[in-house]
Amino acid sequence: MGQANSGGHPSAGCETFDWDVARRMLAGLPGGGLNIAHEAADRHVADGNGHRPALLCLGRRYERRQLSYLDLADGSGRVAAFLQRLGLNKGDVVAVLLDRSAEFFLAALGTWKAGGVFCPLFSAFGPGPLKSRLELARARVLITSSGLYQRKVAAIRAALPELTHVVTVAESGESPSGCLDFAALMAAQTPQPAIATAESDPALLHFTSGTAGTPKGAIHSHRCVLSLLVSARQVFDLTADDVYWCTADPGWVTGSAYGIIAPLVNGCLSVVDEAEFDTRRWYGILKDEKVTVWYTTPTNIRLMMRFGAALARSYRQNSLRVAASVGEPLNREAVAWGEKALGVPFLDTWWQTETGAIAIANRAGCTHPGSMGKPLPGIETALITFEHGRLSVAEQPEAIGELALKANLPSLFLGYLGDPARTEASFADGWYLTGDQVRRDAAGCIWFVGRSDDMIKSAAHTIGPFEVECALMNHPAVAETGVVGKPDLLLREVPVAFVSVNPGFEAGESLRLELLSFARQELGSALAPREILFVESLPKTNTGKIMRRVLKAKASSEPDEDDPIGTALCPGRFDDE
Ligand code: AMP
């Protein structure tokens, strides 16, 4: 990190950077302190930009609803007011289970204004994963839709004594029994500004999967807003004049960080599409809404590539300036296809839940197809190896090691909820250890090699094998199970389960179908295994641990009989309803 550039506006290509100077781009709360919602909405109103459009929400049938920054400031102020009336205290968790909608944004911003911790949950989770996350989070309030409540939460509500209030966004008719109506609560309130929060106060709780044990709840503070403001300028060159579209699902970190916070703090207009992936719909949105900056995933890009460049070109418009990707490796063919079909190369970016914001990226005019790019200005990285338990930093070109980030990044997580041991194990000598194995070439570009653990990446979502195994073990036929990722052309990996059965059960087609449906019921389509493979017994180490590496090799050699080219499950088509 060197001297700040004179304008204090970090942008692509500027390699000198100073976080203290960047900090001045934030408004801060009028009475001191920092609050994400104030930076994302109220500061724009105070700056005279309240009339500017903030969100364009498209319904499944293309219904249009536009919200200005003033609407966001007002609506989130009302949500904050009702949360406080419901007894929410600073630091309490508000879980939000909603599809992409204006209410999702209002719930997040209102939670921050009330001093709460926003915990988004994925609507394609089944009751099992929802219950465990709501329990671990000790959520006081849940904001969801009436439909999702009835399908996924009603049956587990009694088992969640700490969840004192459920607020539902009405889909039709009255709120379900025991729930409060979101619109009625808002209408009854006077908007309130953000309460005094400090930079280091917890603001976000995202669950990310662990290889063993329960999902890990990564906590971020209000301070992450700085990295999100800056990284969106560095990578996307985002300005208040952009029309920005992030396709991420709410419930995962990208949905909060680059779906809500980064575009709003930069004052631009965000497109929010409620519908799931559909090639023509997506090309139509890019064209009709004159999107200038687009952030999506490799799986979506691969899906679009299947329909050919000619279709993309038939929708082509000249507005698109930046197209970027995150979540899994993006191969060089996909980068080049972007250029051919959309007129801009896809920029691959790297980050993870714990880092809270993009740390490594290709940037316009500085792309290295196939690599994840270079660390952003202000971010110090190292490749770490451990020999006899001692940490050493690899300096030589073409080194391979575990990617580590200097632990001074503003957006770095505060720790895992209620798990200091896991938190401590992620740090060494002032470095945060990412768990990703990477290679750094002579030009300083970072190339993804693989995970150091057994995490499964499917359609850019992370799946912990242990959570899937635990759910399967609840079926009386399952004696033991090991879950691994099987390579998939479209989704990169799909979870598959090796199962040995208990005496009295027959490992046949009918049990296979029963287990698939059982898992889908329990876990939801986002986590359920795609295949069940019966085995006599599971390979184990001397200490009795399942050798997932052996299972992974076996899964990789198994043809997918039902779906040889991997098209059955598409991102955004987690259609378990
Ligand atoms: P999550 O915390 O669920 O967002 O997952 C983060 C993980 O996704 C990272 O640690 C990587 O393993 C993977 N990942 C994210 N972006 C990329 C990328 N551009 N290339 C390769 N892997 C990526």
Ligand 1 atom index nearest CA of 461:
3
| CA 436 to ligand 1 centroid distance, Å | 8
| Residue to mutate (ligand 1; options 372, 436, 438; most atoms within 8 A of CB) | 436
Ligand 1 close to Cβ of residue 327 (< 6 A): yes
The finding on whether 355 has its CB within 6 A of some atom of ligand 1 is no
Please give the number of the atom of ligand 1 that sits closest to the Cα of 434: 10
3-state class (DSSP) for residue 42: helix
Instruction: Indicate whether residue 462 lines ligand 1 (CB < 6 A).
Output: yes
Q: How far apart are CA 295 and CA 347, in angstroms?
A: 9
Spell out the SS3 assignment of 190-212: CCCCCCCCCCCCEEEEEEECCCC
Q: Is the CB of 328 under 6 A from ligand 1?
A: yes
Q: How many CB atoms lie within 10 A of CB 340?
A: 11
Ligand 1 centroid, distance to 294 Cα (angstroms): 18
pLDDT of residue 13: 40
Residue 350 Cβ contacting ligand 1 at under 6 Å: yes
| 132: Cα within 13 Å, side-chain hemisphere | 18
346 lines ligand 1 (CB under 6 A): no
CA distance 292 to 294: 7
Indicate if ligand 1 lies below 6 Å from the C-beta of 329: yes
In ligand 1, the atom with minimum distance to the C-alpha of 360 is 19
* Most ligand 1 atoms within 8 A of CB, residue of 457, 461, 492, 493 to mutate: 457
Q: Which of 274, 242, 247 is nearest to 259 (CA)?
A: 247
What is the position in ligand 1's atom list of the atom closest to the CA of 457?
Answer: 8
Give how far the C-alpha of residue 253 lies from the chain's centroid of Cα atoms, to the nearest Å: 3
Report residue 236 as tokens: 């996307």
> For each successive 10 residues of the chain (577 residues), what is the average pLDDT?
32 67 97 97 98 98 98 98 98 98 98 98 95 97 97 96 97 90 97 98 92 86 98 98 96 96 98 96 97 96 93 92 95 93 96 97 92 96 90 90 95 97 95 95 93 86 89 93 93 94 94 96 94 92 78 80 36 31
Report d(CA 219, CA 202) in Å as an integer.
6
User: What pLDDT, on the 0 to 100 scale, is given for residue 527?
Assistant: 93
Q: How far apart are CA 450 and CA 573, in angstroms?
A: 26
147 burial via Cβ count (<10 Å: 0-12, 13-18, 19+): middle
Please give the distance, rounded to the nearest whole angstrom, from the Cα atom of residue 269 to the centre of ligand 1.
Answer: 27
Which two tokens mark 167?
């607020």
Give the number of other CB atoms < 10 A from CB of residue 332.
14
Q: Quick one: pLDDT at residue 577? A: 29
254 alpha carbon – ligand 1 mean position (Å):
11
Which of the 8 DSSP states describes residue 211? S
Is the CB of 353 within 6 Å of ligand 1?
Answer: yes
For residues 315 and 230, what is the distance between their CA atoms, to the nearest angstrom?
A: 31
Are 102 and 68 in contact by the 8 Å Cβ rule? The answer is no
Ligand 1: distance of its center to the CA of 328 in Å? Answer: 5
Which bin fits 518, alpha (ψ -120 to 50), beta or left (φ > 0)?
A: alpha
Does an H or E element contain 169, and which? Answer: strand 165-169
Q: Is 34 in the pocket of ligand 1 (CB under 6 A)?
A: no
Using a 6 Å cutoff on CB, does residue 357 contact ligand 1?
no
Distance of CA 369 to the CA centre of its chain: 23
For ligand 1, atom 22: residue with the closest CA: 328
CB-ligand 1 contact for 402 (6 Å cutoff): no
Decide if 93 contacts 306 (C-beta within 8 A): no
Of all protein residues, the one whose alpha carbon is nearest to atom 19 of ligand 1 is: 350
Residue 107 CB less than 6 A away from ligand 1: no
**Given this model, what pLDDT does residue 169 score?**
97
Residue found by looking up tokens 């979540």 in the block: 327
- Per-residue burial over 278-288, b = 16 or more CB atoms within 10 Å of its CB, e = otherwise: ebeebbebbee
Instruction: State in Å: Cα 209 to ligand 1 middle.
Output: 12
Ligand 1, closest atom to CA 348?
19
* Phi, psi for residue 116 in degrees, rounded to 5: -85, 175
Ligand 1 contact, 373 CB (< 6 A): no
Assess whether the C-beta atom of 451 lies below 6 angstroms from ligand 1.
yes
Using a 6 Å cutoff on CB, does residue 101 contact ligand 1?
Answer: no
Ligand 1 centroid to Cα of residue 331, in Å, is: 14
Q: How far is the CA of 273 from the centre of ligand 1 (A)?
A: 24
DSSP secondary structure code for residue 154 in this structure: G
Amino acid code (one letter) for 491: L
CA-closest residue to ligand 1 atom 6: 352
Check: CB of residue 170 under 8 Å from CB of residue 182.
Answer: yes
Q: Report the nearest atom of ligand 1 relative to the CA of 349.
A: 19
Which two tokens mark 1?
């990190």
- Distance between Cα 79 and ligand 1 center (Å): 33
* 328, 354, 411: residue to mutate for ligand 1 pocket, most atoms within 8 A of CB: 328
Beta bridge partners of 406: 431
Stated length of the chain: 577
